[in-house]
């Protein structure tokens, strides 16, 4: 007597499972289609101060140069979503700051002057005789604001995405700051490990609920690196977690800002927690921006600090409208 693998009652279950498989396949296909539609980038490496610096490049080499600088804890690939929304043809240059992404790590404290040297080397190599527009997010926004004041002739436009500068400090804070740094040297902290890239993508979405699943998966591929145990680590040198032993001095930053010749676009996310912490109601800290000689400010709706993820199309429009 023949035995059936499935009873007649199993038909509905089989149909349901098949339908789930179709839905899953369609979701995978949509992700694949979106990835295929992304503008493709290439990688080049520069030797800067003895370290290999990774530069991600989109666009034809004959197109005008547009430089993009990522923030702390981020990578060059993070600009992909904005690049995909640019309407004009650009030769986009996005570096991985030293100790981030594919750039070399050195396992020691990192300092602002080193970042300025990296930006200077990037422009010397790719735009030695031309002033170019530079977009910077967070730490990247701080760096372009400093650099544009140090070398005003090298930067045609400053697009600063929440590169506000940091909290004011006082000389009296120096002993405690040095003490904290020395203690961190003795007990360095690393970053969290993940079982796989899917877990990392989940964490990215938890940190920024505005991320789409497709964005999170893309970022997890680029910011995650496989470790010896088969898990996933973040592609950031743990030495970046060390507190800077030198106090941040806003007065020095503002002295650089005052020398900027280029027009400056400062974009703030309307729902940015960082902006709310730095500039609480009743605070006069936003007065610092009066040190920019030619400033335009924009408040970007439905966006947090990571506006290049939250509103990439809007950011792309702001960039191109401002530069044109």
Q: What is the DSSP letter of 253?
A: H
User: Is 235 a member of any domain?
Assistant: no
pLDDT of residue 243: 86
Question: Is the pLDDT score of 236 beyond 90?
Answer: yes
d(CA 184, CA 225): 25
User: Is 297 a member of any domain?
Assistant: yes
Look up the pTM and report it: 0.87
pLDDT of residue 217: 96
pLDDT of residue 15: 42
Cβ atoms 96, 103 nearer than 8 A: yes
User: Is 86 a member of any domain?
Assistant: yes
User: Is 156 a member of any domain?
Assistant: yes
User: Is 136 a member of any domain?
Assistant: yes
pLDDT of residue 9: 52
Residue % of the chain over a pLDDT of 70 = 89
pLDDT of residue 190: 78
Mean pLDDT of all residues in 168-195: 89
User: Is 9 a member of any domain?
Assistant: no
Question: Is the pLDDT score of 1 beyond 80?
Answer: no
Host domain of residue 66 = 39-167+240-323
Which CATH number goes with the domain that contains 303?
Answer: 3.40.50.1820
Question: Is the pLDDT score of 296 beyond 70?
Answer: yes
Confidence of residue 229 (pLDDT cuts 50, 70, 90): confident
- Structurally, the chain folds into a number of domains equal to 1
Question: Is the pLDDT score of 264 beyond 50?
Answer: yes
Q: Which two tokens stand for residue 106?
A: 């050195």
pLDDT mean across residues, the chain: 89
Count of C-beta atoms within a 10 Å radius of residue 246: 15
Confidence of residue 109 (pLDDT cuts 50, 70, 90): confident
Mean pLDDT of all residues in 244-255: 93
User: Is 111 a member of any domain?
Assistant: yes
Q: Is 306 helix (H, G, I), strand (E, B) or coil?
A: coil
pLDDT tens digits, 140-162: 999 999 999 999 999 999 999 99
pLDDT of residue 25: 44
Mention every residue, 6+ apart, whose C-beta is less than 8 A from residue 281.
Answer: none
Mention every residue, 6+ apart, whose C-beta is less than 8 A from residue 320.
Answer: 86, 87, 88
Cβ atoms 142, 136 nearer than 8 A: yes
User: Is 229 a member of any domain?
Assistant: no
């Amino acid at each position: 007597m023949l035995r059936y693998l499935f009873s007649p009652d199993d038909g509905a279950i089989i149909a349901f499972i098949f339908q789930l498989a179709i839905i899953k396949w369609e979701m995978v296909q949509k992700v694949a289609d979106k990835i295929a539609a992304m503008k493709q980038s290439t990688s080049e490496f520069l030797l800067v101060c003895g370290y290999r610096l990774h530069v991600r490049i989109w666009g034809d080499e004959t197109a005008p140069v547009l430089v993009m600088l990522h923030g702390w804890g981020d990578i060059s690939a993070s600009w992909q979503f904005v690049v995909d929304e640019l309407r004009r043809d650009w030769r986009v240059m996005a570096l991985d700051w030293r100790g981030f992404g594919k750039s070399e790590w050195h396992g020691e404290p990192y300092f602002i002057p080193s970042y300025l040297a990296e930006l200077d080397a990037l422009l010397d190599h790719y735009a030695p005789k031309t002033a170019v527009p530079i977009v910077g997010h967070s730490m990247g926004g701080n760096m372009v604001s400093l650099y544009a004041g140090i070398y005003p002739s090298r930067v045609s436009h400053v697009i600063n995405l929440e590169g506000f500068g940091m909290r004011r400090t006082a000389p009296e804070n120096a002993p405690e700051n040095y003490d904290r740094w020395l203690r961190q040297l003795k007990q360095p902290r690393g970053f969290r490990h993940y079982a796989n890239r899917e877990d990392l993508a989940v964490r990215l979405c938890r940190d920024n609920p505005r991320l789409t699943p497709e964005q999170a998966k893309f970022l997890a591929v680029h910011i995650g690196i496989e470790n010896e145990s088969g898990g996933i680590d973040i592609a950031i040198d743990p030495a970046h977690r060390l507190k800077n032993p030198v106090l941040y001095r806003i007065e020095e930053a503002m002295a650089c800002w005052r020398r900027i010749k280029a027009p400056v676009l400062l974009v703030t996310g309307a729902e940015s927690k960082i902006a709310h912490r730095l500039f609480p109601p009743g605070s006069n800290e936003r007065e610092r921006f009066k040190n920019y000689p030619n400033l335009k400010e924009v408040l970007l709706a439905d966006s947090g600090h990571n506006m290049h993820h939250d509103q990439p199309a809007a950011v792309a429009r702001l960039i191109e409208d401002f530069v044109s």
